[in-house]
Structure 1
Amino acid sequence: MVEQEQQIEDVLVATQLWLEKAVIGLNLCPFAKAVYVKQQVHCVVSAAANEAELFSELKVELEALLSMDSQVRDTTLLIIPNRFGDFLDFNDFIGEADALLEDMDLEGELQIASFHPQFQFAGTDVDDVSNYTNRAPYPIVHVLREASIDRAVASFPDASVIYERNIETLEALGVVGWQGLFKV
């Protein structure tokens, strides 16, 4: 039991480091810092042994997010350290997770974003630095409130430039620079 608790703690620490150094530190998501410093980001480490259990956990997290005021919990990161070593398998799971949102009639209320250690955009090479905008230490299902996204986008003059700016930031940093972010 102590070993499992230590693994969960290690996963949470690595995820927090990624959030602070990459997502917030490099300003990859200009909306993340506000909810992070207000402690409105809920991180949960999946203990699912199979996909059915994972869907059950995801459903619980979707319902929990909706049951709370956004000032308490604005977004959820479901971290999956022991599954989906293969990005394509994870990508298939994300499609099924989106279908779960539809089945639960939550489209328009919640949205799913995904992060994975081997994330790869269609049409890019595996080592293309642009992929690092969605690379994280573990597979992560990020559940966001649509209303929060709408507010964030309204406060940002031209949200469409975020992706372009992120690519420029990562190209300047390079893969070695990215890896250097996480050396402690």
Structure 2
Amino acid sequence: MNSSLEPLRQSQAWVERFVVALDVCPFARRETERDSIRYVPVDASDVEHLLLTLIEECRHLDASPQTETTLLVLIAGAEDFAHYLDCLDLGETLLEQQGYEGTYQLASFHPDYVFGGTAPDDPANYTNRSPWPMLHILREASIERALAHFPRPERIPERNVALMRKLGIESLAARLDDLKRS
């Protein structure tokens, strides 16, 4: 297989075998079954290129209602978590500046994700750990529709944290490592 496709293949496997299999996002199964998730590789070494790609993908989503969401898979240039967070902040600011606030929002995933106020080895961080750094472009209208039909959506993060802590750091690290080797 072409090595440039590895990050996309591993990211798709993570969505299917981690996010959907563990029901981390109760809305992801439907979109994987519909094949409505777009995976786009981006070299984030050039932050301007990353931001241009982000806006191009928003425009793609504007023109393609059959595509529910896009995962920008950052194949280079975002390995450092602090730098990744800077890119995320720039992306969110750009969405606002381009008039996409209220239309799209970004969810963030990174192999070294650490929530503020948690230790790096807290299993709860695995709710946002992925094999590759990613910016996930979500349609806000879809989120609102899904949450309106989901009982007690505020419990989703609580449930995920409890699940990650039950699975434990060793098990979760092994799952992520397996996805990177598959």
State the TM-score bracket (shorter-chain normalisation).
Answer: over 0.9
Give the match for residue 93 of structure 2: 99
Preserved contact between residue 42 and residue 75 of structure 1 (Cα < 8 Å): yes
Q: Secondary structure at the match of 1:80?
A: strand
Give the match for residue 172 of structure 2: 178
Which whole-Å CA distance do the structure 2 matches of 1:31 and 1:78 have between them? 18
1:27-106 correspondence runs (5 A): 27-69=23-65, 72-106=66-100
Which whole-Å CA distance do the structure 2 matches of 1:14 and 1:179 have between them? 15
Preserved contact between residue 115 and residue 125 of structure 2 (Cα < 8 Å): yes
Q: Secondary structure at the match of 1:11?
A: helix
Q: Comparing 134-143 with 57-66, which one deviates more in the overlay?
A: 57-66
**Number of residues paired by the alignment?**
178
Q: Secondary structure at the match of 2:77?
A: coil
Which whole-Å CA distance do the structure 1 matches of 2:171 and 2:53 have between them? 35
Superimposed CA distance per residue, residues 120-147 of structure 1 (whole angstroms, 9 cap, x where no aligned partner): 1001111111111000111100000011
The structure-2 alpha-carbon separation of the partners of 1:84 and 1:161, relative to structure 1 and needing over 3 Å to count, comes to same
Preserved contact between residue 19 and residue 25 of structure 2 (Cα < 8 Å): yes
Letter in 2 for 1:11: P
Which whole-Å CA distance do the structure 1 matches of 2:169 and 2:83 have between them? 24
Q: State the Cα distance separating 1:6 from its structure 2 match.
A: 1.6
Q: Secondary structure at the match of 1:107?
A: coil
Which whole-Å CA distance do the structure 2 matches of 1:103 and 1:148 have between them? 22
Q: State the Cα distance separating 1:181 from its structure 2 match.
A: 2.8
Give the match for residue 16 of structure 1: 12
Give the match for residue 147 of structure 1: 141
The structure-2 alpha-carbon separation of the partners of 1:49 and 1:124, relative to structure 1 and needing over 3 Å to count, comes to closer
Letter in 2 for 1:111: Q
Q: State the Cα distance separating 1:47 from its structure 2 match.
A: 3.6
Superimposed CA distance per residue, residues 102-132 of structure 1 (whole angstroms, 9 cap, x where no aligned partner): 1111111111111000011001111111111
Which whole-Å CA distance do the structure 2 matches of 1:160 and 1:32 have between them? 17
Q: State the Cα distance separating 1:48 from its structure 2 match.
A: 4.9
Letter in 1 for 2:55: K
1:121-140 correspondence runs (5 A): 121-140=115-134
Letter in 2 for 1:97: G
Q: Secondary structure at the match of 2:75?
A: coil
Which whole-Å CA distance do the structure 2 matches of 1:95 and 1:180 have between them? 30
Q: Secondary structure at the match of 1:93?
A: helix
Uncovered stretches (5+) of structure 2, i.e. residues with no partner: none
TM-score (norm 1): 0.92
Q: State the Cα distance separating 1:57 from its structure 2 match.
A: 1.1
For the pair 1:25 / 2:4, whether they are aligned, the reply is no
TM-score (norm 2): 0.93
